[in-house]
Amino acid sequence: MTAKYAIILAAGQGTRMKSKLYKVLHPVCGRPMVDHVLTQIEKNEMDKIVTIIGHGADKVKETLGNRTEYALQSEQLGTGHAVLQAEGILGDLDGMTLIACGDTPLFTAKTFSELFEYHKSKGAVATVLTAQAENPFGYGRIIRNEIGIVEKIVEQKDATKEEAAVKEINTGVYVFDNRELFHALHQIKNDNAQGEYYLTDVMEIFKNENKIVAAYRMKNFEESMGVNDRVALSKATKVMRQRINEGHMKNGVTIIDPDNTYIDCDVQIGSDTVIEPGVYLKGRTIVGNDCFIGANSEIVNSILDDEVTVTSSLIEEAHMQKESNIGPYSHLRPLADIGEGVHIGNFVEVKKAKIGKNTKVGHLTYVGDATLGKEINVGCGTVFINYDGINKHHTNVGDYSFIGSGSNIIAPVEVGDHSYIAAGSTITNDVEPHDMAIARGRQVNKKGYYDRYPVAKAAAETEKNEKK
């Protein structure tokens, strides 16, 4: 079996992005562009993968880790020079070498596989992946002879008027005989408009040596889209998003408005889940079966079990168990664990808290650094006060307890099972099981005091006007 290698070109800075972030690290649907390329290449069971790094080398290595080997291009002198930096790792090996750019996130493993097979079937030393472009400006052109054999690849800046009119373009992806590739790279020159060593010049060297150069034309031009600026980044993201959404719909997910639903590439969604417009599912979020994700919700790196309902809420690094629900306008912060059947109502914030089965936290409440048992009712406007200005403290509330509206629970406290906290209380001490805690000042009514205040005068004027 012929060995397969790959070289990913990821050394450029990408000045047209006008960004502090290196070009190949800009994300498309939740994953850096170069990671997309590597992921699709990996699916072809490669023997070795080498990434050429330069600008942002440490950041690229941090992103890709040990999934690839690395070669440094300390000075950017063109694509041919970049590939040559891998010679120390691949130069003396037999096999086929795929070359792809780190800023082309839309290529699929299937296309790479087809290119390998075509190259092998033609017995070629080099095969270029081509596409038909309606507007080929900026791409290298594939120049064929009268019987369709590839003669050379001409870069945009070096093309004659006739060559520039050609619509078959070079996608920047190739497969080479590995030894022949490095042999030819030592022969290329930089006498061109850019003063660079073009990888494409090896094609003419091969032709002059009467070796077979093949071209495999892919069907989908969109897949070959390179990203050089923010406009292209948005276009690539749109294509990827459409691909992701269609995949989920084919797997049984209902997406009401795919054009306005944003799902990252690593998100998993179960069948019969319904997603309304304006939803953004990010990171490694997992959504179970039969869930409902309402309009304008955002879910980040979270797990939703089956039959969960989310209504216009933000969920971050949290877990919602089966048949729980949230919203509208509520927020689960990291380490929120919402139990089975739990109701989190509107304008509720939960952080680093575990809430037990069937407990209800209806509205206008903050639960932080707490463990709540099952079947608890938390009244409106309750605040779990967890921070003393230096440290965070924890509160435990037992099963079947009732917390009245407007209560302040000042941690650390233990509230026992079947306990009752009267509305408006500020709790600073433990509450024993089956006890009721009341912590508020006694009500005093001052007779006739209303009439002493300006509000009384204003009310009198209003009443007088109403009688006219």
Active-site residue set: 363
Both tokens assigned to 288? 């179970």
Are 105 and 236 spatial neighbours (Cβ–Cβ below 8 Å)? yes
Closest CA to 326 of 334, 335, 393, 337: 337
The DSSP secondary structure of 124-180, one letter per residue, reads -SEEEEEEE-SS-TTSPEEEE-TTS-EEEEE-GGG--HHHHT--EEEEEEEEEEHHH
User: What's the token pair of residue 155?
Assistant: 């870069």
- What is the 8-class DSSP label of residue 20? S
Q: How far is Cα 237 from Cα 28, in angstroms, rounded to an integer?
A: 5
Block residue for tokens 């380490």: 335
The two three-digit tokens of residue 124, written as one number? 């070629």
- Kindly list the distances between the CA atom of residue 49 and the CA atoms of 75, 100, 132, in Å, as whole numbers in the listed order: 21, 11, 28
What's the N-to-C CA distance of the chain in angstroms?
Answer: 100
Closest CA to 292 of 347, 265, 254, 252: 254
Tokens of 436: 């009721």
Q: CA of 233: how far to CAs of 26, 63, 106, 246, 289, in Å?
A: 8, 19, 11, 20, 32
Which of 313, 311, 309, 331 shows the shortest CA–CA distance to 322?
309
